[in-house]
Structure 1
Amino acid sequence: MPPRSRSTASHGLLIPPEAVAEIRSHLPSVADDVVVAIIAEVPSYEDAFSGPMGETIRNAVQLALGGFLSLAGGTRGADPRTPAAPAVEGAYQLGRGEARSGRSTDALLAAYRIGARVSWREMSMRAVENGLSAETLVSFAELVFAYIDELSAASVAGHTDELATSGRVRQRLVERIAHHLLNGAPVETVTSAAERAGWPAPTTLTAVIVPESQVRPVLAEVSAHTLQTEVPDLDEGALLLVPDAHGRRRAALLRVLADRGCVAGPARPWLEVRASYERALRASALGLLGDTDAHLVQLVLTADAAALADLRTSVLAPLADLRPAVAEKLTETLRTWLLHHGRRDEVAGALFVHPQTVRYRMGQLRELYGDRLEEPETVLALTLALGVGPGFGAGVVA
């Protein structure tokens, strides 16, 4: 957690100008000592302090210490509420730079603690040499550490803001990849967007439609490179594009999705994930949950709902003049007979009727259809028309 900053704006300490001048004259050496101590005690800064970067940081340390001396000596800026404003702003920008460099606030706060210790040791020695009383020295110490608190809090704020900003920027870049994939953008456009986002292109992507309440739990268990986006076609929920969930890995994905009300399209080459999304969307519209590979028959037979309805009307035309109740019984008998390859006992068991009832109904159907029930074309048309059962899906009710 960020340190709780102690305010320096209303301190009552005032160090004599000659003492301030003496301490200020030694700031370059104090800055050097601070840098050396930080390198020795915080390994992650060793490389950062070498070369030009080391000189930049030394200058920043001198700026911070100079701001402190202006504060302690009573030299106020234009805004009396923020006498150390330039140094605080510098600390804030330092925090942002540290976040961009990939270092944590732990390393940053450790550097501040070391800097406070070394600075206090050096400056207090000069203060004693210039005759500061014990009481003044105590106040001096309090101000040093309050000032360091103020700077470290500013750096933590800068670090946090940079991470938030970079996170939002990357999220926008990642969302752009999904947008391009789903809208058929040229390959060059998609791959360029992936490069800008630093997103590693997978072998395949699998489109998964997830209820809003389950997005976070699912994301916690799938690849960290999963793309998340919202699309206009989905009134509720979100779309996830999961990388490399093909082959044996698909089973693991399906276990994550189980009992969450999700719909998983097929794995497709990542640039062709739109096909996976379209299948998942169709399955969702039909109320089919889980693995779309388990619903291929329904998806094929309902690919063109209007055509399927017309086919049903055509193949069931011989039943059109019958009473609705009779037509319904004969239709279901015919469907079951086709699915069970005419095995009468199995048909009877599926319909919960006596085998003789099946024989009677099939006799009626043969009278209505004639020899066409033996023709392969008619059998195929009837199987397709009746395969998913009456009432399945929009537009296919007999």
Structure 2
Amino acid sequence: MDASDTVIRAGTAHDWDAICELLTDLFHESWSQETRDAEQSVWEPERSLVAEDGDVVAGHAAAYTRELTVPGAVVPAAHISLVGVAPTHRRRGLLTRMMHRQLGEIAAAGREPIAVLWASETKIYPRFGYGHAAQRLRLNIATPEVRLPAADPVTSAKGRLRAVDPRTAHATFAAVRDQLRPGRTGWSSRDDTWWKFVLADEESQRDGATKLHGVVLETPEGPAGYALWRAKRGWTEKGPDGVVHVQELVAADPETYLTLWRYLLSIDLVRRVTYGMASLDDPLFHLVDEPRRLGGELADALWIRVIDVAAALSARRYSAPLDMVLEVTDRLLDTNQGRWRLTVTEDGRATCTRTDAPADVACDVLDLGAAYLGAVSLAALAAAGRVRELTPGALRRTAAAFLWHRLPQPAEVF
């Protein structure tokens, strides 16, 4: 059975209720009206694709207009989300049709050289050229078992912690985050609408925990960092056994980072602190006296799809000078297919142009996406048989240039 008679069209504002019903069924969730309104506030109907079978919304795929920080630069990136097909309409090619159309529309618009998403099921998106570009660590910290360095009386005197209501403090948070965002690979842009969405605090989504709390480190020069967290009470026969769930932590410098973690790890009546968005090179592992007790668990995060090879490779920066020819295969976007000369100057800036010269390295667009954020080595992909070296020594030079000095820190699920 196919879905050749099922229409795929651009969404309209009138589709939202039906889309909500589809998505909550697919992800086994129950959204309150408040949650539906929050999700709708960032939804862009004109960038939404709806699969319509008669009067039934049988599939959906959305794109958000945001920027993403990549190595050394900030680029427009289509943020893909809210993708799914009704169980009654699976195995008919609907998802393939929606994803192909979405990629074609992004490419035709010419604004966004890459697309990015979080995968609900990781086996799905490589079919459409998305490469797994960033992982994260989920921390489950046993607070009685870890110690941080003692406070330095000089540096700790430079600021003070202030509790804030996240609902009214987003301008303070934005002042810190916007200053740091150009250097934090994996961070997405947030306008006022997105800040309100990130800070939305619907009771139905708390899983029994408290409201969202905020704390800011104030200095004479302004805010230097903040943390967002909520707590969940717990008791055993031995006493308090609460948990603090950290949603976000942003710090401008090492002392601010340490001060915020001291605060979070010392909240009363708590025995565990969880944090789901730690980078693989998170500094906390080099601060505590017992890093095993941070309970780090590896998880997937961002997937990157290169939409425009020349624009994407020219936009980011590189760790070493380079002059090489890359042969790219892309079965969905013909404009990416072919050979590309990538030239990187001493300061890491690049140009990428079509060429007929012989290729030095060959890969699929999926592998280019996996390497794009500077965390996945092209040499590791070659060891897996996914990247081919055609000129001796070219792979080592190319892999070194693509890597970045800090690993990505995916900061939010969208």
TM over 0.5: no
Higher relative contact order (CA 8 A, sep 6+): 2
**Which has the larger share of strand?**
2
**Which has the larger share of helix?**
1
Q: Work out which of the two has the higher radius of gyration on C-alpha atoms and give 1 or 2.
A: 1
Please classify the TM superposition score into its range, dividing by the shorter chain length: under 0.3
Q: TM-score, normalised by structure 2?
A: 0.23
